[in-house]
Amino acid sequence: MVISEENSRETLPVAVDVMGADHGPEAVIDGAICAFNELGIRTVLVGDQEVIKKRLRAKQQSESDYIIRHTDQFVGMDESPSLVIRGKNKASVRVAFELLKEGRASAVVSAGNTGAMMAAGVFVSGTLPGIVRPAIATLIPRVGRDQPTVFLDSGANVDTHAFQLVQFALMGSFYAHMAFGVDAPRVALLSNGTEASKGTDMLRAAAQMLGQMNNLNFVGYVEGRDIPRAVADVIVCDGFVGNIVLKTMEGSIELVLDSIRHYVEGCLRGKLGMWLAKPVLRSVFNHKLNPAAYGGAPLLGLKDAAIVCHGSSNSRAIRNGIRVADKMVRESLLPKMSESLGALDLDVAGEYENGLWNRMGQRLEKNTKLSREELKNSVESVEQTEATDNE
């Protein structure tokens, strides 16, 4: 199946990498089954065909409802992301992106090695005009509102330059506007204080650039406690800080739930209160606090739609990740973002390694694909994040 006038990208199946997740391929395949049965979204299941067929039979599914692309290679969580470029060029996540390039799929969803996904996406699909590195945009629930905060980068890039934070801010602003209908999204940088003098040299340089932009609603710095407080619609940081923030939030939720459980088990009054509040608590958790409700995080900056799911995702999370990917394609979010980025013509001075950049569009020969050296740096940056996660 290839793209033609009669067969637009919106009608193509979503490529799902079934290999490399923490709990094996079963949960991923189950998520694809739910996406088809509940949402009518077709998928290409990329991975070991014997494992895939066995699971489909166990779930009493017709193989004709799914497309299977066989490969027995994948990049494990404890392996180097660079293997997807050299050493394992038939890795499932790379094959999934190649299906996009060939016009056989509309988007990619993966719960495997995040670094390998980013490397494969940059290497095969390329990046949007002016974007040097993609960023993971995670949705964070907010106090008193159903509208989430767009938080990026949450783990794709450990080391960033100031102008890359500016690019993240632009992408996050476009995404908040196009995906959630937020007019003039408030964009902030995550720092250790709200005063202009706070933050690192990199943050202050990024803040200076963002403050010069007339087409961006930059509101300055926010602190970590402000992330769920609805003081900004988009919050930007590097992937090192972002990943730590997310893991801290996960641990904090575990602590709260464990504390409630401990109190309930040791007190009759607590048991009665829990019995009365259980329906409400379950609703709050399932609709607002449970990461599975959001499905996954888009890898913004790639030319194609790609959704990063948590390695420990259950079938519901995978199903919702597929839903988000399908929505991005059907609403043409990436073409619109590409058009918006390409229309920018800003004159903001700033140093980038050994060269001077004076145009936010970064209209260089390398803006569709990174050079080998830049790609190597991107992979090494993500490897540091993966190593931190494994610790």
Whether residues 143 and 274 share a domain: the answer is yes
pLDDT at residue 352, as a whole number: 40
Give the CATH number of the domain where residue 117 resides. Answer: 3.40.50.10950
Whether residues 153 and 72 share a domain: the answer is no
pLDDT at 251 over 80: yes
pLDDT digits (tens, 9 = 90+) for 103-115: 999 999 999 888 8
Per the structure, the count of domains in the chain is 2
Give the domain-ending residue among 293, 322, 337.
293
Per the listing, tokens 């918006």 go with 340
Provide the percentage of residues in the chain whose pLDDT is more than 70: 81
Whether residues 256 and 156 share a domain: the answer is yes
Whether residues 278 and 162 share a domain: the answer is yes
Whether residues 148 and 269 share a domain: the answer is yes
pLDDT at residue 188, as a whole number: 95
Whether residues 261 and 152 share a domain: the answer is yes
Lowest pLDDT segment from 166-180, 260-274, 353-367: 353-367
Whether residues 286 and 312 share a domain: the answer is no
The first and second tokens of residue 156, run together, are 């794709």
Query: Where is pLDDT greater, at 7 or 58?
Result: 58
Mean pLDDT across 308-332:
90
Asked whether 207 and 221 are in contact (CB, 8 A), the reply is yes
Whether residues 9 and 126 share a domain: the answer is yes
Query: Where is pLDDT greater, at 64 or 5?
Result: 64
Q: How far apart are CA 126 and CA 101, in angstroms?
A: 10
pLDDT digits (tens, 9 = 90+) for 367-391: 334 455 555 565 555 555 555 555 5
pLDDT at 51 over 50: yes
Give the CATH number of the domain where residue 255 resides. Answer: 3.40.718.10
pLDDT at residue 223, as a whole number: 93
- Reduced to 3 states (helix: H, G, I; strand: E, B; else coil), residue 177 is helix
pLDDT at 34 over 90: yes
Whether residues 18 and 112 share a domain: the answer is yes
Q: What's the burial of 6, exposed, middle or buried (CB within 10 Å: 0-12/13-18/19+)?
A: exposed
pLDDT digits (tens, 9 = 90+) for 55-82: 999 999 999 999 999 999 888 888 888 8
pLDDT at 222 over 90: yes
Whether residues 83 and 200 share a domain: the answer is no
Give the domain-ending residue among 272, 293, 314.
293
pLDDT at residue 200, as a whole number: 84
DSSP E strands in the chain: the ranges are 14-17, 43-47, 67-70, 107-110, 135-136, 138-142, 145-152, 186-190, 217-222, 234-236, 297-300, 305-308, 350-352, 355-357
CA torsion sign, 198 to 202 to 205 to 209?
negative
Q: How far apart are CA 126 and CA 79, in angstroms?
A: 23
Whether residues 372 and 251 share a domain: the answer is no
Give the domain-ending residue among 293, 309, 336.
293
Mean pLDDT of the chain: 81
Structural domain including 102 reads 1-131+301-391
Whether residues 181 and 120 share a domain: the answer is no
Q: How far apart are CA 237 and CA 157, in angstroms?
A: 10
